[in-house]
Chain A
Amino acid sequence: MTLNPNKVRSDFPILETLFNGKPLVYLDNAATTQKPNQVIDAISDFYRTSYANVHRSPHTIGSIATEKFEGGRQKVADFINAKESAEIVFTRGTSESINIVAGIMAQQLLKPGDVILTTPSEHHSNIVPWQMAARQSGATLEYINLHGEGVFDLDEIAENWNPRTKIFAFQHASNVLGTIHPAEKLCKIASERGCLTLVDGAQSAPHVPLDMQKIGCDFYTISAHKMCGPSGIGGLWAKREHLERFEPIFGGGEMIRKVSMQEAEWNDVPYKFEPGTPNIAGSVGWGAAVDYLTALGKDDVNDYVDDLAEYAIEQMSSLEGLTTHGPQTDRTGAVSFWIDNTHPHDISSILDADGIAVRSGLHCAEPLVNWMGLPATTRASFYIYNTREEVDLLVKALDTVRMILAVPGL
């Protein structure tokens, strides 16, 4: 069965809205995805019928809310094939998930002279927390090399391995290039050398079928809003042994079992990492998003977006002076491109006037864009509701961009 984009489109009410007098061509999915009725309705219904605080409420509605909230956690756990829902710590998103792990490492694991390893291809959210952890712990932050179109060399990583490396944090997929990295092999290299691994799954979770039992990492981080779920909720998956072993870095209600004037006893996992009232409706909405993607078929989602991105690269490359970046095939829907003598911000403004929403700039990945030797890129990122017709509209609009901005004689 293949994904039917027209059927999918009918689930997304925002696609019927006009912007600048034109139907929305939404190609900024690597930043955030739109929401289907199934998710909007689940959140709305929850607030209408079942909302209360979770876990400690003595009343019936509190029990109903708790059941739905924990139901969302179970759905997310099933979606990534976690062993149990307790392995999912709810956070505000990937950034917070990485910050929690980096904070724990800085406080509880890293010693002066230890090494944190990451890559120049990362989103700032997988660089800056590690810079902070390095400063706090006296560890050094080191980077592997990028090759070709931004890929990693596994042999080189293994050969150059510093035995003091305590954690290797890397992205599963690039938000700029659309590259899907071989997470399993990378985790194997690290774990064979006694190093913990954190995989940033913000860009992969919406595309790549995930299996926490196969990938071999210690921590995996995801955001609901990039996979049709609500903003403001995400997850940190970790093996139970890690959640048991490490201490929480944030304190508050919910995360404790017992509190005296001087000390506190932590609650069970995952609650000991979830202080305060959680994003209750967020879990319900994320659960609905997971149901939605599961019903479409994870492999079908992956195949459809990959195929559409390949079509876009093929069509865009036919334009003179336009270069696409990243892999041609086996990729996510994020396609960065450059048009000679034309700045990405001007491209995105002109496309916007045609109702086409793309992103331009550094994409929160300044070291990567610098490595590419560009001041910025324009990025069209595709998802399940985009179509070949929309790609054709994009290509036509890019031709208009060239007509408006082309530099004569260059």
Chain B
Amino acid sequence: MSIADVFSAVLLDHYRYPRKFGKMDNPDIEMDGVNPLCGDEVFLQARYDGDKVTDATFTGKACAICIASTSMFCEQAPGHTLNEIEGQKDRLFSLLEKKDLTDEERKQLGEIVSLEGVSQLPARVKCALLAWETWEIMAKQLQEGKG
């Protein structure tokens, strides 16, 4: 795989035209995700109806990999439960750790499969995970609030 393949057409499309980029009114939860080593920063906001995420948006300054991954997160999360999103995060982790995924799992990942090349760049895996790791903390807070 060449470096140009890492920056796949789908990844670059999300970077150039990030989906769900902007701030929302009245979010149920919001959080700043920062990667202190490199300075990547994404601000995630979401609405939650007690069962499913109903909307997610983001702003921030970050690299192509981080922006693309965050854009995909915000596009995919709405309509899904916290458990379902966690399952998707686990599949992304597996993808970046070069673990074998079933065809079904790849199908579930959707466009996130385009981040696969990042697994070739160990120093950049954290960029692809920033939004998902930030969401993990947010989901915990939502669950605690719910309980």
- A360/B121 in contact, CB under 8 A: no
Closest to B1 in A: A353
- A376/B39 in contact, CB under 8 A: yes
Task: Mark A121-138 against chain B: 1 for CB-CB distance below 8 A, else 0.
Answer: 000000000000000000
- A343/B64 in contact, CB under 8 A: yes
Indicate if A259 sits at the interface (CB-CB under 8 A). Answer: no
Q: Among A344, A346, A352, A408, which residue has its beta carbon within 8 angstroms of that of B7?
A: A346
- A375/B61 in contact, CB under 8 A: yes
With contacts A405-B12, A407-B16 taken as known, whether A349 is within 8 angstroms of B38 at the C-beta atoms is no
Kindly name the residue among A349, A350, A362, A366 whose own CB sees the greatest number of chain B CB atoms within 10 A.
Answer: A349
Task: Point out the residues of chain A lying under 8 angstroms from B4, CB to CB.
Answer: 404
Indicate if B127 sits at the interface (CB-CB under 8 A). Answer: yes
Task: Mark B92-114 against chain A: 1 for CB-CB distance below 8 A, else 0.
Answer: 00000000000000000000000
- A360/B38 in contact, CB under 8 A: yes
Instruction: Give how many A residues have a beta carbon under 8 Å from the other chain's beta carbons.
Output: 19
A343 to B67, CA, bound (A): 10
With contacts A349-B3, A349-B6 taken as known, whether A405 is within 8 angstroms of B38 at the C-beta atoms is no
Q: Among A349, A350, A353, A366, which residue has its beta carbon within 8 angstroms of that of B39?
A: A366
With contacts A345-B124, A350-B3, A369-B39 taken as known, whether A405 is within 8 angstroms of B61 at the C-beta atoms is no
Nearest CB in chain A: distance from B92 CB, A: 18
A224-274: which have CB < 8 Å to B? Answer: none
Task: Mark A344-377 against chain B: 1 for CB-CB distance below 8 A, else 0.
Answer: 1110011011000000111000100100000110
- B3/A345 in contact, CB under 8 A: no
Instruction: Give how many B residues have a beta carbon under 8 Å from the other chain's beta carbons.
Output: 23
A interface SS class: helix
With contacts A345-B127, A349-B3 taken as known, whether A361 is within 8 angstroms of B38 at the C-beta atoms is yes
Indicate if B82 sits at the interface (CB-CB under 8 A). Answer: no
A206 to B112, CA, bound (A): 45
Closest to B12 in A: A405
With contacts A361-B39, A366-B39, A369-B39 taken as known, whether A345 is within 8 angstroms of B7 at the C-beta atoms is no
Kindly name the residue among B37, B67, B121 whose own CB sees the greatest number of chain A CB atoms within 10 A.
Answer: B121
- A343/B62 in contact, CB under 8 A: yes
Q: List 30 A-B contacts (CB under 8 A).
A: A343-B63, A344-B63, A345-B40, A345-B66, A345-B124, A345-B127, A346-B63, A349-B3, A349-B6, A349-B123, A349-B124, A350-B7, A352-B3, A352-B121, A353-B2, A353-B3, A360-B38, A361-B37, A361-B38, A361-B39, A366-B39, A369-B39, A375-B39, A375-B61, A375-B62, A376-B39, A404-B4, A404-B7, A405-B64, A408-B16
Chain B positions near chain A (C-beta within 8 angstroms):
2-4, 6-7, 12, 16, 37-41, 61-67, 121, 123-124, 127
